Amino acid sequence: MSTTLFRTIQPNHFTLLTTALLRTRTKTSRHISVRCQTSTTTQQPRTSAPKNHGSNKLDEILKDYEAVIGIETHVQLSTSTKAFCSCPNSYGSHPNTSICPVCMGLPGALPVLSSKVVDFGVRLGLALNCSLSLKSKFDRKQYFYPDLPKGYQISQFDVPIASGGYVDVDIPLEFGGGHRRFGITRVHMEEDAGKLLHSDAGDYSQAMIVSKLDLVDLNRAGVPLLEIVSEPDMRSGVEAAEYGSEMQRIVRYLGVSNGNMQEGSLRCDVNISIRPIGQAEFGTKVEIKNLNAFSAMSRAIDYEITRQALLYNQGQADKIVTETRLWDEGAQKTVTMRKKEGLADYRYFPEPDLPEVILTQEYVDSIRASLPELPEAKRRRYEAMGLGIQDVLFLANDVSVAEYFDEVIGKGADVKSAANWLMSDIAAYLKNEELSISDVKLTPHELAELIAAIKDETISGKIGKQITDPVEIEKMIMKVISESPKQLEQYRSGKTKLQGFFAGQVMKMSKGKANPALLNKILLEKLNAKE
């Protein structure tokens, strides 16, 4: 094997490129890899969603019952300040260090709307194909809780900024594939509440003590949110998870939010009911909270469908009540959190401290013109370029990967080759090294050149992937040598043909990627070195 490799070497400066490919930009890959981790998380539902023993059970159930699912998504906006005051909007600060009279609800404080919030609201509304309300207003949603400083949340009740839209998604191939369109009822602006922490949860000496039980951290109070309410159009956990993933993609594409479920910048609550197939009326709706990943959403829905169907089958459909259930990740089931006795009365009335939000058509048009290409448009464009749906989904689903890909083909590289490079070698490398695409030192321009060079056979594909770093090769050589003392002695006492043995071992260790010329050069040096 090693001999055939030697024959295809064409010394060329492109081989040096690959050293760059494999060096990381910084040592802080752990910090930067947050994005990579989440991008692989979004892909996990596709590859690792349990095809469990329950799936047959679910299929049986779905012959008799239809699940009706709607999702409420809260998106924390990545603005630099809070919605109604100039406190910094930053995650992870020490408790109560980003507060002021306004977001603390001190007597005499008044809210002042940040224009960025409206900007982001319009952006998201347009991206979700909604009609915008050129005139909308804020309302007070009133209830008492320690994390709600004013005793009301500034939100939008009857005139949200956007309504009546839809989102198009592609169901992953492993779940049957296909296109779906899900309706969006409304998008509105509101402020987030603070956080309650339990007093035994670490050092929170700066948090305020309430009733000896809980501590209040108001850093998050007043952070701007966009709430997206979907039509109850989803019919399965898979569809719901894909809807959620698309919401995440869109907010990241638009740059309005990090869309990070673990950090809480993207929160999804599911409303689910089932009904016998053919029945027009909806069944009793149950709300599910505490979903920290799209995979959890999918499993929670499957569990809930099964739970409700079981009750129906046992003639106990009346045991399904309007309630909020929490997803217990450990036990993999939903559990009752609180029963809703009728609808809560939030005593909404128009916020008297804030004027109406008035948008001009010019303003809306200018935002529309500045929107980036959204995931759906990208997917259709990639499809039109001749890529298979699997490739399309991989490339379009992460905004950074798509950007990289677009740049590579923008430099003229062949579409299929660029796709293959990204999907196999680069993806594998990123996974092994736990990096994100933005850390790769191989620039799109360089990759495009590489592809072009391979295409007109200046270098072979295999060479493009060689290890040519002398330090790395030396490391491998020294390891092989230390593991084969017998052969080393034999070589040094005259059996020089054993060079081939060592070369083969190193080649094996490098999985065939070591540059043969360099390997042999360094190997000879080491073998012939004095003790």
Partner 1 sequence: MPSTAASRILEHYRPPFDATAVKKIKEMGGIVVGKTNMDEFGMGSTTEASAFQVTANPWDLTRVPGGSSGGSAAAVAARQCMVSLGSDTGGSVRQPASFCGVVGLKPTYGRVSRFGLMAYASSLDVIGCFGSTVADAGMLLHAVSGYDRFDSTSSKQDVPEFDTQFLSMDSFESKPLKGVRVGLIRETLEEGVDSGVRSATQEAASHLEALGCVVTEVSLPSFSLGLPAYYVIASSESSSNLSRYDGVRYGNQVMADELNKLYECSRGQGFGGEVKMRILMGTYALSAGYYDAYYKRAQQVRTLIRKDFKAALDHNDILISPAAPSAAYKIGEKKDDPLAMYAGDIMTVNVNLAGLPAIVLPCGLVEGGPSGLPVGLQMIGAAFDEEKLLKVGHIFEQTLKGSGFVPPTLPNVA
Question: In the chain, what are the helix, strand and coil shares in percent, each to the nearest 5?
Answer: 45, 20, 35
Nearest-angstrom CA–CA distance, 296 and 292: 7
Nearest-angstrom CA–CA distance, 103 and 223: 9
211 binds partner 1 (CB under 8 A): yes
494 binds partner 1 (CB under 8 A): no
* CB-nearer residue toward partner 1: 6 or 349: 349
Give least dist CB 105 to partner 1, A.
Answer: 4
Could you say which residues in the range 76-115 bind partner 1, by CB under 8 A? 101, 104-113
**Residue 142: enclosing H or E segment and its boundaries?**
strand 139-142
All residues at 6 or more sequence positions from 98 whose CB lies less than 8 Å from its CB, including other chains: 82, 87, 88, 89, 90, 219
CA dihedral 74, 78, 79, 80 (to 10 degrees): 130
For residue 103, what are its two tokens?
């977001």
Find the part of the chain contacting partner 1 (CB under 8 A) among 2-10, 136-144, 327-335, 486-494.
136-144
All residues at 6 or more sequence positions from 114 whose CB lies less than 8 Å from its CB, including other chains: 79, 81, 82, 83, 84, 224
354 binds partner 1 (CB under 8 A): yes
* CB-nearer residue toward partner 1: 62 or 109: 109
* CB-nearer residue toward partner 1: 176 or 352: 352
Nearest-angstrom CA–CA distance, 454 and 225: 49
By the 8 A CB rule, do 208 and 96 touch? yes
Find the part of the chain contacting partner 1 (CB under 8 A) among 273-281, 353-361, 402-410, 490-498.
353-361
Give least dist CB 100 to partner 1, A.
Answer: 9
* CB-nearer residue toward partner 1: 96 or 466: 96
213 binds partner 1 (CB under 8 A): yes
Give least dist CB 141 to partner 1, A.
Answer: 10
Give least dist CB 372 to partner 1, A.
Answer: 32
Residue 505, Ramachandran bin (φ over 0: left; ψ between -120 and 50: alpha; else beta): alpha
Find the part of the chain contacting partner 1 (CB under 8 A) among 204-212, 249-257, 397-405, 440-448.
204-212
Size, binding site for partner 1 by CB under 8 A: 35
* CB-nearer residue toward partner 1: 207 or 261: 207
Give the residue, chosen from 348, 363, 429, 501, that forms a contact with partner 1 under the rule CB under 8 A. 348
45 binds partner 1 (CB under 8 A): no
140 binds partner 1 (CB under 8 A): yes
349 binds partner 1 (CB under 8 A): yes
Nearest-angstrom CA–CA distance, 221 and 227: 16
Give the residue, chosen from 201, 210, 310, 358, that forms a contact with partner 1 under the rule CB under 8 A. 210
* CB-nearer residue toward partner 1: 16 or 210: 210
For residue 52, what are its two tokens?
């469990």
Residue 447, Ramachandran bin (φ over 0: left; ψ between -120 and 50: alpha; else beta): alpha
Nearest-angstrom CA–CA distance, 88 and 280: 49
DSSP 235: -
Give least dist CB 282 to partner 1, A.
Answer: 22
Give the residue, chosen from 60, 64, 174, 353, that forms a contact with partner 1 under the rule CB under 8 A. 353
Find the part of the chain contacting partner 1 (CB under 8 A) among 213-221, 330-338, 465-473, 487-495.
213-221
For residue 46, what are its two tokens?
């596709």
Give least dist CB 345 to partner 1, A.
Answer: 4
Give least dist CB 469 to partner 1, A.
Answer: 58
Give the residue, chosen from 88, 151, 177, 178, that forms a contact with partner 1 under the rule CB under 8 A. 151
**Residue 78: enclosing H or E segment and its boundaries?**
none
* CB-nearer residue toward partner 1: 114 or 257: 114
* CB-nearer residue toward partner 1: 144 or 457: 144
Give least dist CB 465 to partner 1, A.
Answer: 59
Give the residue, chosen from 345, 362, 456, 457, that forms a contact with partner 1 under the rule CB under 8 A. 345
The counts of H helices and E strands in the chain are 20, 17
Instruction: Tell me the CA distances in angstroms from 243 to 67, 215, 233, 238, one per residue in order.
Output: 15, 35, 10, 9
Give least dist CB 211 to partner 1, A.
Answer: 5
Q: Strand, coil or helix: what is 183?
A: strand
Give the residue, chosen from 347, 368, 475, 495, that forms a contact with partner 1 under the rule CB under 8 A. 347
For residue 366, what are its two tokens?
């200018």
Give the residue, chosen from 53, 144, 200, 494, that forms a contact with partner 1 under the rule CB under 8 A. 144
Find the part of the chain contacting partner 1 (CB under 8 A) among 120-128, 173-181, 348-356, 366-374.
348-356
All residues at 6 or more sequence positions from 15 whose CB lies less than 8 Å from its CB, including other chains: 459, 463, 466, 468, 515
CA dihedral 127, 354, 269, 172 (to 10 degrees): 10
Residues in the chain: 531
Instruction: Tell me the CA distances in angstroms from 23 to 301, 328, 512, one per residue in order.
Output: 43, 41, 19
Give least dist CB 48 to partner 1, A.
Answer: 41
By the 8 A CB rule, do 191 and 82 touch? yes
By the 8 A CB rule, do 83 and 120 touch? no
Give the residue, chosen from 352, 457, 493, 494, that forms a contact with partner 1 under the rule CB under 8 A. 352
Where do contacts with partner 1 occur on this chain (CB under 8 A)? 101, 104-113, 140, 142, 144, 146, 149-152, 208, 210-213, 216, 218, 343, 345, 347-349, 352-355
